[in-house]
Structure 1
């Protein structure tokens, strides 16, 4: 199972018994070489003994080794922070001080800087251990996430082995209040961690038991890897703020549940009213966006009062590539796709239930399909056309 991050890759797998391991390794190696992605291959102690041999024979170098630990939530004892300290539920987007604490420890299952680049969502939870008596209050950071489709919460990492971290995560999964409803409703009943040294010892004292070990193997292909991910999250970045400021100025954005259309629609635009979610429309408009940009030009997805994204249209939405971020059709928020210069894009209005498509090149690609699916546009260049 390959994961391609654009700048590097990772391989994990199920049982390899009976596989032609040298051929399997060579096939994966060729794919990472084609993409010019350094690769990390994770090998567990219970894997076929020939796998490590096949990897080293193909030029992979052994790296870190750590324990894999699991704890049923009910086995994790309650623990409070030391006197004078407390845990706070932090903004999931790590501060520079939190990153410093994370970088000075590890290796972690999911390094905090990597988690930041991959993008956080509401199922990712970061805790700060703070000293209430000093100006520089942060003393440790821990981060954990739901592992989608499984009964596990995974400990991404802890910068120090404080038992209060797993204790609070376990309590937020349980029936007592306060709880994290997304965690509670997930049905997750176990916590999974990877650690060594003092953090491993601390987890063992918090109800975790070692079930296996995992070692990394690394290979770097010839060539220069991409310097940036295909998809990059933007939040407090100056680039994100600047784009919003220019969008507000260009289109006179006026959010309201009562006043429509929400923007001054430009002359080269058409607006359709929507009938609800529609995967075909999503695919049509997204493909039109990807095909309308200039070579090497990024696209942006903006979500009002939430994080945004910059992404490379040529490196998303293909075999082994990440999905483009966001969505076209609104479902409670204002959604915007746009180029940096705002010459083309889309504006989804959640309260009017409308989609404005602007930019001559983009309209030429999607107008016929949208009209066939939704009827004629209700506005063109901001002028009402009535029902088509």
Structure 2
């Protein structure tokens, strides 16, 4: 039996509004402030709220503006039609500008019809890597909905066992007609449709099937039960005829402080990004190493030192934690404005990070590391002037680059003992794979 819109609204209010994410998006800082949840992305920020209006809304709003202004982040604040009128009035008085209203829609996945047999030549599928740029442009041109595809992708394709995203495309005769993007909202009974480029019931049905299938395969014991979306008037009929109910109206209020926000988040997950492969190719060429030869190490440059980590056998070894902290401090001390630090493993996803905007209080989590107990790993600046190579086969850590080495040499030697090699040449009486 289909649930009433009032019940769906109640579930939506209790589970999604004022939610602190189960898995933090890449490059984001999430903070609770009374009835508010504030998210800083660097490029912009969002405010979500729950509960009754504050007795002093003007002061609460002014505090948010001050905090976002300190980071040069524009604010997006969703206001629902059933919220207290004082909220919208106070935001407008503070300089916020409301955007067009959208309809909030929720469906019980069990009420969404199964994907019908499509006509010959038509299929729903995942996009190919070569189609992503064109899809991104099409998604950016779609009307304002729940979450842009660019933001969902920046969160990371797989942020944890409770959160995941997917893109679905409807193809006919080899041509993409429309696309939909969806994410699992960790810690809730919802999967959320970020947006859809056209009114395609086939894609909405496929989204429900994806949420149910992924739930049974990955998200047990909390399989998604509901789908939520926001849509302009032109897309609402497609949702309603697919089993969704209109439960509310919402508008995004926006305000921008003085100053330029960052153009990218402080950290980013790298999957099939061209820069991932480009950095690897330059690293392999400069340090004369490939996946097949990595066990034998790299050609260590003159400004390098290598230490033995033979006693480190577990990823949670306290000694490794100390080593990583020393490396992090050294990278931050040697970093220049505009630097990007890449943490990469062969044939596995990596990350990109601005080392001056991560790892400290009020900043996103540090997204890089120097050593793994079961994989070779590198972390390097884009210009390759400094970085590390963790060779798990040799159980060694090579640190290179004059700027980095100057900040970590003494501390790492105190932690790990005799240096194994300097400039690629063995020293002391420690056995080495080196020349």
- The reply to whether TM is greater than 0.5 is yes
Deviation by residue 1:109-145 (Cα, 9 ceiling, x = unmatched): 22123334444337221111111x25xx111111111
* 90, 97, 101: which one aligns with 2:138: 101
Judging changes above 3 Å, is the alpha-carbon distance between structure 1 residues 285 and 202 closer, same or farther for their aligned structure 2 residues?
Answer: same
Instruction: Count how many residue pairs are aligned between Structure 1 and Structure 2.
Output: 382
- Please say if residues 92 and 126 of structure 1, whose CA atoms lie closer than 8 Å, have aligned partners that are also in contact: no
Relative to structure 2, which stretch is displaced further, 333-342 or 50-59?
333-342
Partner of 2:44: 8
> Could you tell me whether the CA contact under 8 Å between 1:285 and 1:328 is conserved in 2?
yes
d(CA) in 2 for partners of 1:204 and 1:373?
A: 63
Distance 1:139 1:349, change over 3 A: farther
- Residues 81 and 87, structure 1, Cα contact 8 Å, conserved in 2: no
> Structure 2 CA distance, aligned partners of 1:124 and 1:307?
16
TM-score (norm. length: structure 2): 0.76
Which TM-score applies when normalising by structure 1? Answer: 0.85
Match of 2:150 among 88, 108, 113: 113
Q: Flag as ranges the 4+ runs of structure 1 deviating above 6 A.
A: none
Q: 1:386 maps to which residue?
A: 430
Q: CA deviation at 1:377?
A: 4.9
1:1-388 to structure 2, matched below 5 A, reads 1-80=37-116, 82-84=118-120, 85-91=122-128, 95-121=132-158, 123-131=164-172, 133-134=173-174, 137-174=175-212, 181-183=217-219, 187-232=223-268, 239-256=275-292, 260-267=295-302, 268-273=304-309, 274-278=312-316, 279-330=321-372, 333-350=375-392, 352-371=394-413, 374=416, 376-383=418-425, 386=430
SS at match of 2:63: helix
Counterparts of 1:185 and 1:376 in 2: how far apart (Å)? Answer: 50
Matches of 1:91 and 1:153 in 2, distance apart?
Answer: 23
| Alignment CA distance shift 1:329-1:61 (3 Å) | same
**Structure 2, unpaired ranges of 5+:** 1-36
- CA–CA distance in structure 2, aligned partners of residues 271 and 6 of structure 1: 36
Q: Secondary structure at the match of 1:42?
A: strand
CA deviations over 1:270-313 (Å, ceiling 9, x no partner): 13323322444433322321222234433223232345444322
Distance change in 2, residues 1:64/1:366 (3 Å) = farther
Distance 1:352 1:20, change over 3 A: farther
Task: Note if contact 1:71-1:208 (Cα within 8 Å) is conserved in structure 2.
Answer: yes
> Would you say the 8 A contact 2:99–2:253 is kept in 1?
yes
User: 1 CA distance for matches of 2:166 and 2:188?
Assistant: 17
CA separation of 1:358 and 1:205: change in aligned 2, threshold 3 A: same
User: Using the alignment, how far apart are the partners of 2:224 and 2:419 within structure 1?
Assistant: 46
Question: Contact 1:92–1:125 (CA<8 Å) still a contact in 2?
Answer: no
Report the CA distance shift for 1:101/1:284 in structure 2 as closer, same or farther (over 3 A). Answer: same
